[in-house]
Amino acid sequence: MRCERMCRHALGKTLPSYLIPLTSQRRGSTLLLALIILGGLVATSFTVGTIVVTRLRGVKAIDDSVLASYAAESAVEDLLYAIRKREQRTGLDASGTLPNGAAWERTVEATTQELFLDLTADDAQQLDLFDPSGDLTPVSVRTLLLTAASPSPDAWLEVSWVPWLDGGTWSPAIGRVLFSPAELQSQKTVDLTSPQFGGTPVAYRVRFRSIGGNVGRVRMTAASDADGRTAVAFPSRIRATVVGAMGNARYATRVELPSSFPLAPVFDFVLFSECDIVKGGTINCP
């Protein structure tokens, strides 16, 4: 009777931990360990998945950016074809879509207020100033204003020019100035009407040459007066801004080029040969 009462009294209370069977404790520890391992696997899988998805998105963005850049280059090539082959001067704003789905949009300005030249050591570039209409109307540019951002200490800039006169011939006289690296730090003015050329200049062929070192980037603007205070746009120059798009990627580029090429360029030297001139190859002369 006493044992039955004590057992009934004990069943109505929570048993101490030392009276819980060992099998139940092991089952709880195993379940907790399984949950911890499962949580670690889930976290690891989530982290790895996030990294993989991020990398895939990055690769896709790179591919789209490359296609967007190709679309922009296609728009520039289309502009060159329109200007040089079709001799188109207006209506150059356009847009298009390539077969791969990339698209481009082009905006063209008929005038250019400033130009930039990049001159490395012993490099030369030419600028033609003329009326694109083709008649003998004098250009409005009289002076050029030049500034070099960071020329080398040993870099000199030579500017030479020769005008095309209203009589239809090149002037026998040539203008020339030379600027030191210190002078290029501030804005320099080049008067294209000096010296006296014996006629009325209607166009100019201007040549820029770096001597000794890297002149770097030269910023150039034009003016219609001798003091350089009345700014004018460069004639026969256009500026095009092109944006290529593919997916979420965008690639923008800007080009400046002459609207026509009536003047012959200046060559430092000319090679004449009875055989084909092959750069880096073997010359076979019959």
Range name among 55-64, 78-87, 174-183 with the lowest pLDDT average: 55-64
Residue-wise pLDDT for 234-266, tens only, equals 887 888 999 999 988 999 998 888 777 654 444
What pLDDT does 263 receive? 44
| Strands across the sheet containing 103-109 | 94-97, 103-109, 237-246, 249-258
Q: In angstroms, rounded to a whole number, what is the distance separating the alpha carbons of residues 61 and 215?
A: 37
pLDDT in tens, 12-46: 555 455 455 545 555 567 777 777 888 888 888 77
Q: Is the pLDDT of residue 52 over 80?
A: no
Higher-confidence residue: 270 or 202? 202
Average pLDDT of the chain to the nearest whole number: 81
The boundaries of every CATH 2.60.120 domain in the chain are 113-233
Q: Specify the CATH number for 113-233; select among 2.60.40, 2.60.120, 3.40.50, 1.10.3470.
A: 2.60.120
How far is 42 from 10, CA to CA, in rounded Å? 44
